[in-house]
Structure 1
Amino acid sequence: MAILTLCLSTTLALPASALDYTIDAPDGPDYGKPTSVEVVHTADGGARKNEDVSKNAALIPPGFGTPSMDTRNTGSYLTPNLSPVGAPATGAVVNGSGSSVITPGSPTGSVTVPDTTAPSTRYTEVTDDLYYSGGHLGTLKIPAIDLSVKIYEGTGSSTLKKGVGHFEETSIWDGNVALAAHNRGVNDHFGEIHTLEIGDKVTLTTKLGTRTYKVVSVEKVNENDTSGLSPSSNDQVTMYTCVRNQWDNRWKVVAVAA
């Protein structure tokens, strides 16, 4: 009995503490950090493309029978207050359309919530008839850095060896035309775009015509920045390239139609 009492006393005298343990994350190519930005490596191991696949970028397609019914990247944002194009966070409405809110005491009994539908976007799809005989889609010229280079579809390493690459999900004429190129090596076509100044001219020529733009912004952004790939109501060219010795950053230059 005395031994049992001694054991109980010893047990009760031990300080209470939480268990200390850790659980290591699994290794291997099938695991990674959770993210709403999809990182895609090209089949040939070339440049990667970032695409926002979260609900913030989801579009409600245009109504059946409307002029833009079959046009890609059109419609209203599912969550307009969270949309990547920066729609106002206030007055958001379901399905991107205005509605009435009953207000007691108001003359008509209701007031109208402002329509926060994202502005209509312009977009031109790449079709077979837009290719030149040499396989390119057009020519980009920037006199300030003495650049004249052909544009090819895609942003893989094999494409960027030939010239400037066109992000496949973006427009090729009306709206936002997004382009990428190397900043060093033999084909350092965008090696000097960070030196461009506001107002410098950029000229894009395709089978649909020739359009002149003026630079409106030159900035360094994170490698996961996808804002330059979003559809736009403006006619603009958005150019991306790497920042030397800063693997997590990119130069982003935007030029808007003059």
Structure 2
Amino acid sequence: MLAAICVTPASALEYTIDAPEDYLFGAPTSDDTIYEWEDPNVDRGKNTALIPPGFGTPTSYLPGSGTALTPNLVPGALEGGGLVSQTGSVTYPTVDSGGWSGPAFTTVTSDLYYSGGHLGTLKIPAIGLTVKVYQGTGSSTLAKGAGHFPSTSIWDGNVCIAGHNRGVRDDFGDLHTLEYGDTITWTTKLGTRTYEVVSVEKVLETDTSGTASTSDNRITLYTCVRNQRAYRWMVQAVEV
């Protein structure tokens, strides 16, 4: 009898489980995503990405403001026949056979450095100045000479340069004495340009409007105002 019990086949238990009611575990989140109610054909690549403006700058509160992350890959560049080396605002100008219609810009590249590490030489005869210009505006850079603002052009458009006016160096000590029509020459590996002074202004330290890209070729020079930490001397000169 015990043997008979041991050989009796066992049968598996059967279960029936009903499916959960709708949204028992929460509504699905993939039915209505941002990519479904936004235009799916918008370019979201790095060639349209913007570096946001600095806090407190004149355009910091404007939606979509900033500078291009990759200025040589702006939309429409290939339509005009190749990449361009200009930078603009969030509204990119149209590239056509006539060339770039917006701000001009030349990016600093490794081949533009001289063997001494500088990018160019600035000369202002009216104040007897000849000084080499290095990349950057930090204290270590300005201890060697004048400094080029990295966010600005090195050749075409608006070239912006800063310098000390006392202390470790006195390169721009007489910058504020320049007058309308005084000449400034800027020499780089791309050539030499001559500019004429059109303005000498005292501006707030926070006023960065003078560093904006321009469609004309100009040079903008900055230095401190002695004993007035909140201000800077700004000299602008345009190509002649």
Q: Same fold (TM over 0.5)?
A: yes
Is 1:58–2:72 an aligned residue pair?
no
Deviation at 1:59, TM superposition (A): 5.7
Could you state the TM-score of these two structures normalised by the residue count of structure 1?
0.62
Q: Read off the aligned partner of 1:65 and give its amino acid letter.
A: L
**Unpaired runs of 5+ in structure 1?**
1-35, 40-49, 79-94, 98-117
Provide the rounded CA distance (Å) in 1 between the counterparts of 2:126 and 2:214.
25
Q: Which residue number corresponds to residue 246 of structure 1?
A: 228
- Spell out, residue by residue over 1:133-189, the C-alpha distance to the aligned partner (whole angstroms, 9 max, x if none): 000000000000000000000000000000000000100011100000111113111
Cα distance, 1:208–1:158 mapped onto 2, change above 3 Å? same
- 1:66 Cα deviation from its structure 2 partner: 3.5
Aligned residues: 176
How far 1:227 moved relative to its partner? Answer: 1.0
Distance in 2 between residues matched to 1:122 and 1:151, nearest whole Å: 21
Task: Evaluate the alpha carbon distance shift between residue 161 and residue 209 of structure 1 in structure 2; reply closer, same or farther with a 3 A threshold.
Answer: same
Name 2:238's counterpart in structure 1: 256
Letter in structure 2 aligned against 1:161: A
Matches of 1:119 and 1:164, distance apart in 2: 31
Report how far residue 54 of structure 1 moved. Answer: 4.5
Q: Which amino acid aligns with 2:130?
A: S
Query: Where does 1:41-52 land on structure 2 (aligned, <5 Å)?
Result: none
CA contact (8 A) 2:176 2:235 kept: yes
Partner of 1:180: 162
* 1:121 CA displacement: 1.2
Q: What CA distance in whole angstroms lies between the structure 2 residues aligned with 1:182 and 1:212?
A: 22
Q: Give the 3 Å change call, closer, same or farther, for CA 51–135 of structure 1 in structure 2.
A: farther
Rounded Cα–Cα distance in structure 1 between residues aligned with 2:175 and 2:189: 25
Percent identity for Structure 1 against Structure 2: 56
> Does the CA-based 8 Å contact 2:122-2:132 persist in structure 1?
yes
Q: Secondary structure at the match of 1:120?
A: coil
Is 1:120 aligned to residue 102 of structure 2? yes
> When the two structures are superposed, what TM-score results if normalisation uses the length of structure 2?
0.66
Structure (1 or 2) with the larger CA radius of gyration: 2
Where in structure 2 are the equivalents of 1:100-249 lying within 5 Å? Answer: 120-249=102-231
Indicate the residue corresponding to 2:38 in structure 1.
none
Aligned partners of 1:242, 1:136: CA distance in 2, in Å?
Answer: 22
Q: Distance in 2 between matches of 1:146 and 1:244?
A: 20
Query: Counterpart of 1:38?
Result: 55
Name the CA distance, whole Å, in 2 between partners of 1:249 and 1:139: 26
RMSD between superposed Cα atoms in Å: 2.6
